[in-house]
Amino acid sequence: MPQIFKAAVVQLNSSADVLKNISHASVFISEAAKRGATYIQTPEMSSIVDRDKNNLLRQVCFEEDDVFLSAMLKLAKELGITLHIGSVALKQGEKLVNRAFIIDTKGLIRARYDKIHLYDVDLPNGESWRESSSYTAGSTAVIADIEQAKIGLSICYDLRFPALYHALAQNGAQILTAPSCFTRQTGEAHWHVLQRARAIETGSFMISAAQIGPHEDGRETYGHSIIIDPWGRVLADAGNKGPGIALADIDLSLVYHARQMIPTLQHAKSFTTKQA
């Protein structure tokens, strides 16, 4: 695998119209490939953003019938890129799954990951979220061994659970990812510090595409799709002005150097806890 390659994050403002979202995502993915990116990542819920459960259920499909995924498989092959779809909503049994995909240069699915941690919360500004009412949580951490690197997969709210990233890095992931649909309120408070912390704690690159702006379903997302190096330095940030792309060169030798300088993965110990 190459030591240095170009990565891109695609920042979207996905709507409740799947076909519209295919068109918008395809434009930005194609532009990133034109600018030399060989690994391109889109945000959580790239295919549809709609918190109306009934509307969502009318539009989403099983994986084999999903038109967004089908279009992305074709696009990855056409452009000759590794395409990381941050997630799409898919039917599975009586509920949905929030599933990420890694698609290779031949247009084949190399890895799938179902979001483990579901966002059930009431925010001070009155927003309320109950992902568990519509989605089934995943239970397996996933590392995708692709042409460019070993990539640890996660989605959005997973970002707040550092043990997941520690496990991914200990098992060989060089790049960690958290494509997201972060709310503006929580993003302003925590997005950058959590992204940098996960990179620093594990000596890994952190690459996270994000949704941006007001959406048709009433939510507002934070944006700032980001690429961070293993020392915690921000290499690229798409900002909060609207949809677009951000690119950076990924030098995997930096992972080795960061983990040599601060070998937390080697020094981590198991322990017990007691009440004194």
User: Would you name the residues annotated as active-site residues?
Assistant: 44, 115, 156
Q: Is 65 helix (H, G, I), strand (E, B) or coil?
A: helix
Are the C-beta atoms of 215 and 13 separated by less than 8 Å?
A: yes
CA 2 → CA 97, 138, 149, distances in Å? 33, 31, 8
Count CB atoms within 10 A of the CB of residue 195: 25
Compute the residue count for the chain: 276
Task: Characterize the bridge pairing of strands 175-177 and 150-153.
Answer: parallel
Separation between Cα atoms, residue 32 and residue 23, nearest integer Å:
15
- Specify the residue for token string 């937390």: 264
Are the C-beta atoms of 73 and 107 separated by less than 8 Å?
A: yes
Q: What is the DSSP-derived secondary structure letter of residue 137?
A: P
Which residue, 172, 120, 112, is CA-closest to 142? 112
Contacts of 227 (CB under 8 A, 6+ apart): 7, 9, 205, 206, 207, 234, 235, 236, 237, 246, 247, 248, 250
Count CB atoms within 10 A of the CB of residue 85: 29
